[in-house]
Structures are given as structure tokens and as C-alpha cells.
Structure 1
């Protein structure tokens, strides 16, 4: 037992207890999201009778509402009259209400209302949650702190997807998924209400809603990083949307990879990401943030090359598995460093707004990435295969921008 305790102490980061509480709350809420993530579209098309186009439109407009939520959430998180804690509480209540609407949805308009509420609630959540993690850690701890909460996200989502699939297999009760998801948001509300006090630094001056955004949008460092961030989140979107379909259609030529095998490959991807998250974050702490992102960019490039090989060469399972493994490492190298870098360059009084810009990059990347990948797959074999080589080429300008950003950050640090 003592040996296990020493091992855990050496493996787990030494962080403020509130970081662990926040991570536990995020794991809980992600379990609920995992319940509905993959199964809601199936339910609304096969049982409610909506078309796939209507479902896609509802989810897409929910993402637009998420951008609005991020905008308001960043301003609220920095506001002396609101702050991080009330914003998190509001996000939990809005998300729980969204589940209530989706639970009752029996036509497109109610479905749309539920998605708009859910997108808005999730948008409120991200800037405030990322700001809390930055408030209660030192700059040296933030990479591991963000890695911990990302690990909680990954584990919660995986548990939710598995449990949701089991519940549907046993009962077929799709609507129960929304009820469970709503309960997890209410439990998250209770955890924040009881265990997390306001963390916003004292002394934030009163300002208009748009004032902080004007400052952020004029920050050259933040805007340059935002370009790379959108590119990286577009890469992530390809794993979830384009890559499964590509392997299914083109893996190893024309025979493709079966759905069951794809499930095993992507399960391994998630498991590797969870195992590597904390050790890789600790290993990359020795590098400057932009250098850590360069490591991620190189891994993305290698991963895209391996995907191309899986579609054009022999042994597609080997190359596809290697690609997913390399991209799991690229993902876990990128996600904590990206948030830590933005928190580091943000003025303390505008941390919520700056992290809201960071979160909006995710929304934009996921808005652009899936349609682009889907278009490439619909153009035939040559375009589908070449798409991954083109993605690999985009890593080169990303590396150039990151080298410029690294020099700029060092110059700013000296001054």
C-alpha cells in the first residue's frame, strides 16, 4: 500500500484541491454528455422522425449559439458584478434546462430550442472553467492542471458513451439519456455551489461588455496564436468526423475497415490519450509553450502521413492504428499547453475574455473541419487520399508561425 501511495504521489500532480474538485465536476458532466453525444442523432432521426438534414441543422445552430455563449461567458467571468462562479452555475442550469427541452422534443422546433440552449450553456461554461483553473494555479503548474481536467473530460466522455450504449441496448429508452444528462448538470451545479468559491482576482475595474474584447482583439500575440489554434482544432475535428469515414471507405484500398474494427481502433485511441495525458504534460513542462506546440504539430504531420498510408497501402489496420496512436499523442500535447499559453499572455483582469477567444477557436475549427473533410471524401479516391497529404503540408506554416510566436513571447518576457 505504501508503495502504491508513493507511486501515485509521483505520478499525480501536486495541485490545489480545488483543481481536483473542478476536474471531478467536469468528469461528472462529461459522463452525461457522453450519454447523449452519439445517440441523440440516432434517436431524433429513427424514432422522432426528423431528417438527417434537420438534425444536422439543429446541431450546427447549437454551435452558433455556443459562440454567443462563449462571448458572454468570457465577459461575465471577468466582470466584478458576476465572476467565474456565477457563470459556471448559470451554465449548469442552462444546460440542465436544455436537457429538459430535449427530453420533451417531438418535432424540429423543440429539438432546435434544446440545441440552442445546450450550445449556449456549454459556451458559458468554457471560459469560466478555464479561468478558474488558471486562477488557482501558478504558471509552472498550469500545464499539468489543464492536463488533469482534460483527462477528466476524456474519462467522463468515454464512461458516458459506454454506459449510454449499454442502457440503450438493455432498455431502448433513449429519452432517459436526456434525463440522466440533466441530472449530471445539476450535480455539477451542486459541486460548484458547495466547493468552489469565487476565484476572480480582486480589483477588476468596471467596464462595458465590449471593452475587454477590444483589448483582446488588438493583442497581436493572441491573434497570431488564434490562427494556429483554429488549425489545430480543425485537425482534431478530422479525427472525430472525417477519419472514421475515410478508413471505412478507403482503408487499404477499396475494401475499407469494418465498423466493429473501427470501434476497437478508436477505443485504443481514447485509452492511449487518457494514459499519456499527465505524463506527456509533465515531460513537456521542460519546454517553452510554443516549443511544446511545435512537438504537437510534428506529431500531427506524422499522423496524417500514416493515415494516407492506411488508405493507399497494405496493412490498413496497422497504419490506421499507428496513425490514431500518434494523433492521440499530438492531441494530448496540444490541449493543455494551448490553454496554459493563453492564460499566461492574458492580463489578469481579462483572463476570462482571453480564454473565451481560445474557446471560440475550437468552435471555429469544428465549424470548418468536418464540412471540409466531408467534401474531400465525396470527390473521389484521388482527392480523399490527397486530403491527408495536404493536411500534412499545413503543418509547415504552422511550425513557422509557432517559431515566430516563440521568439515574440521570449522578447515580451524579457521586456
Structure 2
């Protein structure tokens, strides 16, 4: 009897414990579901807030300029990788003469830069940009007619003159259409549009171009010319922003007034180094990869694509992260990343070959791309802040000319070194990049406090309208 009673009590207790355990599990699941729901809502809300914070908050006019830039960069991407192939393989022009023709474009851009800056300050950024687009459209529309080396020299010199008008015109137009606190976002978006267009254009150009069908190159050049005219059509919907009248103490005009700005001259010298040992030296990576490390053309294209996609994906977040940061330290970090990328290429060339080397070189282009995304929202807005408005065209023209100078210097030194001993290019580029980084830190101590940091643009509040163009827009 006692045993039966004990068993009965134990059975009841067991059922009660089971009920309590089950109820606790239900409560735990409900609590977990509630917490998960709350966390999910918070995560979605945080993501939405973050994405709204990335909104560049630019005016309709700026978006139109950037749209035209994407189309135009697409056309350039279609053509530029294949110019030398067209001249040599289709028209029978030697590599040396083709290289001379490309140099003619850079020299023409450098020579025309002074006049372009004056035109911008007198006629406005939009009108100068229109002139540059017309010159470049004419150059590439006539390129199918090239038969001799001097034809290519003349047309690429014409294209270089158009480039001299294009960059200071576009930069001045963007800076005058954009409030000062949003200029980093405007120039970051410019870098995105350029890389997106070039990347897509290179893919399309590779699908069209065929040396066994010379007419395919005619399609490339006419397609590129058409993109210039599309950009022109877009610009006709935008008025010319009016420049601010200079203050009495800003009355000086001309390049002498610009060159008296020692901080700007220092920045120009640094940019020559950035371009010569950064962009132009890395333009030597494809022939180095193919001829020294045995990397296939497909992998060379992958390097280009990886770099382009990285810039398109992270440029706006990086621009947001740089708000309120010291500009010259960002440029110093860029130089150090360029140096690291060059050393990665050196290691890949020494230690590996074929596919293994290609993977290392892809990593190098990604590190190089990390440096590139620091420059876009930093350097051009710094030039805009240093420049008095009535001299802005000349400031941007000299900035464009520093790119041309670096484009001439880099291949002039790097090309012969690549032929003499390919491995010497990369440690030299790394060393000069480190020197440039120290130069950035030295310049930081000289800059006026008002331009040392990137402006903080802030997020886009709920229901807040898009900003209007900068004062003076007509």
C-alpha cells in the first residue's frame, strides 16, 4: 500500500515537473522570439539609418552631371584599352610610334592646361566642359581614318587638349553646384561614376574588338564619340553657375596669384608623385604580370575588374567615414597603401608565377584601390577650399596639369626600368610613396586650420529636401 501511494505521488510530481518544464520552454521560446523580433527591427532600422547616412544629398543638377560622366566614362572604357592594339595590329604602326602618340596626348593636355584654366575662370566650368567634350568627340570620331603614325599623334594631341578643358571644367562645375559641406560627396560620386563607366566599357569593348575584323574598331571609336555627344546633351539642361564676386583683397588674377599659394604648389608636387609612382606605375602591372610572371590576359582583366568593383562598392562609405578627418593624413595613408601594394607586387613576382602570382597581383590591386578611395573625397575638395572662387578654374587646371606631369614622368622612368630589370620598379615606387606620405604630414602643419579637416555633411533627416546648388547658381 505504501509503495503504491509513493508511486502515485511520484507520478503526480513528475507530471507537474513536466508541465512546469514545458511552460518554461514555451516562455523561453516566446521570450527568444520577442528578443529576436526586437533585434531584427533594431537591425533593420540601423541599416536603414546607415544607408540614409550614405546618401550624398546632392542636387538634381549634380546628379545629371554624374550621369553624363558615367556614360562618357563608359565610352572611354570601350576605347582606351584597345588604342595601342588598334594602331599596331590593325594599322601596322610600331609600338614605339604608338607610344609616342599616347605621349603626345599627355603633352598636349599639359600644354593646354594654362589656357584651359583661364577659359574656365572667364567662360565658366560648364562652357569649358562643353568645349572639352567637343574636342574629344571630334578626335575619336576621326580615329577610324588613321593610316599613319602622325595621324594618331595629331588626333591624340587634339584629345589631350580636350582633356585639358574637361577636368578643370567638370571640377569647377561640380564645386559651384554643390554646397561646401557636400563637395567631398560630389567628388566621391565622380570617382564612382568614372570607375563604373570604365569597368563596364572595358568589358563591352573586349566583346566588340577583334583584330581579325578591323571594322570592329570603327564601332568602338564611333561608340565613344557618341557618348561625348550624350554628355553634351545632358549639359544643355544645366545652367552655368555664377562665380562669386571677388573680395577687394582677392582682386589679383592670373597664374601668378595662384602660384603665390605655397601650400597649393606643395600639394601639386605631391600629386605628381601620387600619379607617377602610383597610378602610372600600376599601369605597368599588366605587362609585368604577363611577361615576367606568366599571367594570362584573362587574369589581367580580372585585376582591372577587381580594382574597379572595390572602388564602386566602398567609395561612398569611405567618403562618409572621412567626414571630420584630417585630409593630409588621409592622403598620407593613401601613399602608404600605394607603397604596400607595390611591395605586394614585388613579392608576387619574386615568389610566384602563373595563377598563384595572378592572385597576389589581384590582392595588390585591391590594396591600391583602398588608397584610391581615400583620394577622391579628399584632394579635389581641398583644392576647391584653397581656391578663391574667381581663380577656381586656374587652381583646378594646375591640378589637372599635375596629373599630366605625373602621367609623363611615371612611364618615362618606369618603362625603361621595366625593360632593364622588372623587379626594380616596385621597391622604387614603394620608397617614393613613403617619402610622399611624409610630405603629406609636413604639409598638414602648414595648411590653414579651416581646410585641414573634411567638412561634416551630416545625415539626411526624415522628410528633409535635397539641398539646393551652391549660391550663385543661375
Normalising by structure 2, report the TM-score: 0.79
Residue 33 of structure 1 contacts residue 157 of structure 1 at CA under 8 Å; is this kept in 2? yes
Structure 2 match to 1:403: 441
Instruction: Flag the 1:3–1:191 CA change in 2: closer, same or farther, 3 A.
Output: farther
The correspondence for 2:273, drawn from 227, 231, 237, is: 231
Residue 25 of structure 1 contacts residue 191 of structure 1 at CA under 8 Å; is this kept in 2? yes
Residue 101 of structure 1 contacts residue 110 of structure 1 at CA under 8 Å; is this kept in 2? no
> Structure 1 residue 268: deviation in Å?
1.2
Structure 2 match to 1:287: 325
Deviation track 1:84-108 (CA, whole Å, cap 9, x = no partner) reads 1211111121111112321322223
> Structure 1 residue 171: deviation in Å?
8.6
Residue 88 of structure 1 contacts residue 128 of structure 1 at CA under 8 Å; is this kept in 2? yes
Residue 101 of structure 1 contacts residue 113 of structure 1 at CA under 8 Å; is this kept in 2? no
Deviation track 1:52-83 (CA, whole Å, cap 9, x = no partner) reads 2222212211211112332222111111xx11
Deviation track 1:180-215 (CA, whole Å, cap 9, x = no partner) reads 111111111111112x2112414369xxxx942111
Q: How does 1:123-202 map to 2 (within 5 A)?
A: 123-169=164-210, 173-194=216-237, 196-202=238-244
In 2, Cα distance between equivalents of 1:395 and 1:110 = 37
Residue 70 of structure 1 contacts residue 123 of structure 1 at CA under 8 Å; is this kept in 2? yes
> Structure 1 residue 125: deviation in Å?
0.8
In 1, Cα distance between equivalents of 2:138 and 2:163 = 12
Residue 69 of structure 1 contacts residue 120 of structure 1 at CA under 8 Å; is this kept in 2? yes
> Structure 1 residue 240: deviation in Å?
4.3
Matched, 1:71 2:114: yes
Q: How does 1:82-93 map to 2 (within 5 A)?
A: 82-93=123-134
The correspondence for 2:296, drawn from 234, 255, 258, is: 258
Instruction: Flag the 1:413–1:85 CA change in 2: closer, same or farther, 3 A.
Output: closer
Matched, 1:117 2:158: yes
Structure 2 match to 1:392: 430
Structure 2, gaps ≥5 residues long: 1-43, 453-474
Instruction: Flag the 1:7–1:413 CA change in 2: closer, same or farther, 3 A.
Output: closer
In 2, Cα distance between equivalents of 1:413 and 1:322 = 34
Moved more, 211-220 or 165-174: 165-174
Structure 1 match to 2:4: none
Q: How does 1:13-92 map to 2 (within 5 A)?
A: 13-79=56-122, 82-92=123-133
Q: How does 1:194-213 map to 2 (within 5 A)?
A: 194=237, 196-203=238-245, 211-213=253-255
Normalising by structure 1, report the TM-score: 0.89
Instruction: Flag the 1:235–1:18 CA change in 2: closer, same or farther, 3 A.
Output: farther
Q: Who wins on radius of gyration, i.e. which is larger?
A: 2
Matched, 1:346 2:387: yes
> Structure 1 residue 168: deviation in Å?
2.4
Residue 244 of structure 2 contacts residue 389 of structure 2 at CA under 8 Å; is this kept in 1? no
> Structure 1 residue 25: deviation in Å?
0.9
> Structure 1 residue 173: deviation in Å?
1.6
Residue 98 of structure 1 contacts residue 114 of structure 1 at CA under 8 Å; is this kept in 2? yes
> Structure 1 residue 318: deviation in Å?
4.1
In 2, Cα distance between equivalents of 1:239 and 1:268 = 18
Matched, 1:378 2:416: no
In 2, Cα distance between equivalents of 1:24 and 1:239 = 30
Instruction: Flag the 1:236–1:397 CA change in 2: closer, same or farther, 3 A.
Output: closer
Instruction: Flag the 1:23–1:413 CA change in 2: closer, same or farther, 3 A.
Output: closer
In 2, Cα distance between equivalents of 1:115 and 1:349 = 31
In 2, Cα distance between equivalents of 1:3 and 1:189 = 40
Residue 125 of structure 2 contacts residue 171 of structure 2 at CA under 8 Å; is this kept in 1? no
In 2, Cα distance between equivalents of 1:52 and 1:156 = 27
For the aligned residues, what is the CA RMSD? Answer: 2.5
Q: How does 1:359-374 map to 2 (within 5 A)?
A: 359-374=400-415
In 1, Cα distance between equivalents of 2:149 and 2:246 = 43
Structure 1, gaps ≥5 residues long: none
Residue 78 of structure 1 contacts residue 200 of structure 1 at CA under 8 Å; is this kept in 2? no
Deviation track 1:10-42 (CA, whole Å, cap 9, x = no partner) reads 433111222211111111111111121012221
In 1, Cα distance between equivalents of 2:433 and 2:275 = 13
Residue 334 of structure 2 contacts residue 375 of structure 2 at CA under 8 Å; is this kept in 1? yes
Instruction: Determine helix, strand or coil for the equivalent of 1:173.
Output: helix
In 2, Cα distance between equivalents of 1:51 and 1:301 = 33
Matched, 1:320 2:358: no
In 1, Cα distance between equivalents of 2:269 and 2:386 = 16
> Structure 1 residue 218: deviation in Å?
2.0
**Number of residue pairs matched by the alignment:** 400
Instruction: Determine helix, strand or coil for the equivalent of 2:85.
Output: helix
